[in-house]
Amino acid sequence: MHRLGDLPKPLAFVLSGGVALGAIQVGMIRAAAEAGIRPDLLIGSSVGALNAAFLGQGFTEPRIEGLAEIWRNLTRSDVFGNFGLGRIARLLSRGMTLASPETLQRFIASHIPVSGEHLEIPVHATATDYLSGETVILSGGDLRGNLLASSAIPFVFPPVVLGGRYLVDGSVTAHVPLLPAVKLGARTLVVFDVGYPCKLLELPRSPLERTLHVFSILLHRQQTGSLAALAQDITVLYLPSPCPLSVPTYDFSQGRNLIGAGYETAGSFLQALHITGPGVYGHPHAHATY
């Protein structure tokens, strides 16, 4: 039987996309740290890549608390800028996207170093080649540019050009980057999948809200196929996401509550976990439809 602090190495933290639900990952990460699990590498898509890059600067309790503080105070305008009807009309009339990347660029620059050379733990981000549909693993080079590309939600942000390729959000093809983590050599995957809002109380209203909600619906079943494709000698700890979840992906006002919910569900799972060898422990957030 493996102890949680003695799992096969290298051990990767695998962080999903999820926009505002990324706050859940902070609670999950805190529970993992308290259980003695430490990453050898981190890989994330979209908001998961942003969280990974922050933690890659030092996997310590003060840094985890620093990330929690960011999420407690984060607002939608910190990520997408301020939306007015006039601005949206001008953008759409020019064939542009719903949001300018400038606000997100400033946010990334305020928390993340320019280069991965300044990280204590290797961090990788996934993006999607906008032309071929290929999943691209971004490692090294311009860390901030990698994160911007990984977070470039189609129709919301414009593609990011890196290495001559047009790149968009990594979640499009690797919402939970399990296979990329294995490609990087990981033998144990600890998965921080935020799930999806399975119990919304009202319809999304604005174009931004509708776009983000549709993406959450489209992507939440993607990881099931990736799990089936993993080699049998890989160990996967698939931490549970809160359920039922009534917070939409575009609601940044619930950071504190989401952190707490992520901590509670992951902590309970890890306390009861008994690992006897390779395999998948836990499962993605899903509801039976038949």
For residue 28, give the nearest of 195, 248, 265 by alpha carbon: 265
- Rounded Cα distance, 30 and 262, in Å: 9
- Rounded Cα distance, 283 and 186, in Å: 19
Q: Is the pLDDT of residue 94 over 60?
A: no
Could you give the C-alpha distances from 60 to 29, 38, 98, 121, 123, in angstroms and in order? 11, 10, 37, 11, 16
- Rounded Cα distance, 180 and 41, in Å: 12
pTM: 0.94
Model confidence band, residue 201 (pLDDT cutoffs 50, 70, 90): confident
* Structure-token pair, residue 122: 């290797």
Q: Is the pLDDT of residue 90 over 70?
A: no
Mean pLDDT computed over 31-57: 98
Taking only the tens place, the pLDDT of each residue in 164-174 is 999 999 999 99
For residue 135, count other CB atoms closer than 10 A to its CB. 18
Instruction: Write down the pLDDT at residue 286.
Output: 79
Taking only the tens place, the pLDDT of each residue in 19-33 is 999 999 999 999 999
Average pLDDT for the chain? 92
